[in-house]
């Protein structure tokens, strides 16, 4: 089975993951693969050095491995998604097995950045959200879920997150088949993606 691969890109805390989760509710059996899982491990570096790395650049990710995995799933073969720890800034033991299904969602900052990955994606979605909204969401998430201090989040956002988004993420909007708002109710953006999937299915003579 060749899954229909949906790519969801956008700035940090724009609503990519939440959109993916809402889509899974409408597309049973669909798996979500996070680009975050493919951050380079950097286990050879002390924790203090890993903590200072710039994670908001495309070269922080082992996109080549994701490319390999997506090509495998496109051929009907399963793959092993890495597991990444944000608390430790490195990959941890174990993987998550992804099996072929009707749909696969890949979400992350730079999903639309690399031409090789874009070529594998069947539907490309960009989530557009005001930078200040993104910052407030990221502050709340990183303090509550990732053990960061507000000062750490603020410094990282201004030092790497915002500049990285402006340089590497925002321009990829031009590659999207569909742009949705990360500030409107998710029922709207989910509906827009499902409508796009339905239109594509009709154009190739199949039924979703």
pTM: 0.90
Residue 101 domain-assigned?
A: yes
In this prediction, residue 95 carries a pLDDT of 96
Position 207 scores a pLDDT of 32
Note down the domain range covering 28: 4-199
Mean pLDDT of each 10-residue bin along the chain, 208 residues long: 94 96 96 96 88 92 97 96 88 94 97 98 97 94 88 92 97 98 96 89 41
Q: Is residue 204 part of a domain?
A: no
Looking at the structure of the chain, the number of domains it has is: 1
Angle at 136 between CA 134 and CA 140, to 5 degrees: 115
- 135 inside domain: yes
Domain-located, residue 18: yes
| CA nearest to 172, candidates 6, 9, 5 | 9
Is position 54 within any domain?
Answer: yes
Q: What is the pLDDT of residues 181-195, one digit of tens each?
A: 999 999 999 999 999
Q: Which SS3 state, helix, strand or coil, does residue 207 take?
A: coil
CATH number of residue 12's parent domain: 3.40.50.300
Q: What pLDDT score was predicted for residue 204?
A: 42
37: left (phi over 0), alpha (psi -120 to 50) or beta: alpha
Residue 133 lies in a domain: yes
Please name which of 66, 72, 63 lies closest in space to residue 2, comparing C-alpha atoms: 72
What are the beta bridge partners of residue 178?
A: 125
Question: Does some domain include residue 179?
Answer: yes
**Residue 200 has what pLDDT?**
59
CA distance 134 to 56: 14
Q: Is residue 33 in some structural domain? A: yes
């Amino acid at each position: 089975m060749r899954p229909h691969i949906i790519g969801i890109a956008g700035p940090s805390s724009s609503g990519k993951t939440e959109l993916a989760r809402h889509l899974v509710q409408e597309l049973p059996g669909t798996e979500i693969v996070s680009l975050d899982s493919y951050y380079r491990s950097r286990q050879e570096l002390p924790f203090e050095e890993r903590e200072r790395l710039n994670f908001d650049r495309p070269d922080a990710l082992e996109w080549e491995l994701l490319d390999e995995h997506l090509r495998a799933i496109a051929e009907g073969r399963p793959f092993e998604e890495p597991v990444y720890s944000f608390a430790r800034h490195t990959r941890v033991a174990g993987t998550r097995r992804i099996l072929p299904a009707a749909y696969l969602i890949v979400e992350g900052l730079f999903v639309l950045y690399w031409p090789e990955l874009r070529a594998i994606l069947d539907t490309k979605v960009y989530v557009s959200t005001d930078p200040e909204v993104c910052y407030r969401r990221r502050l709340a998430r990183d303090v509550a879920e990732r053990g960061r201090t507000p000062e750490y989040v603020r410094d990282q956002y201004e030092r790497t997150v915002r500049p990285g988004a402006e340089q590497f993420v925002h321009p990829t909007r031009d590659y999207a088949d569909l742009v949705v708002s990360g500030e409107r109710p998710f029922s709207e953006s989910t509906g827009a993606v499902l409508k796009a999937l339905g239109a594509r299915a009709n154009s190739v003579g199949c039924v979703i």
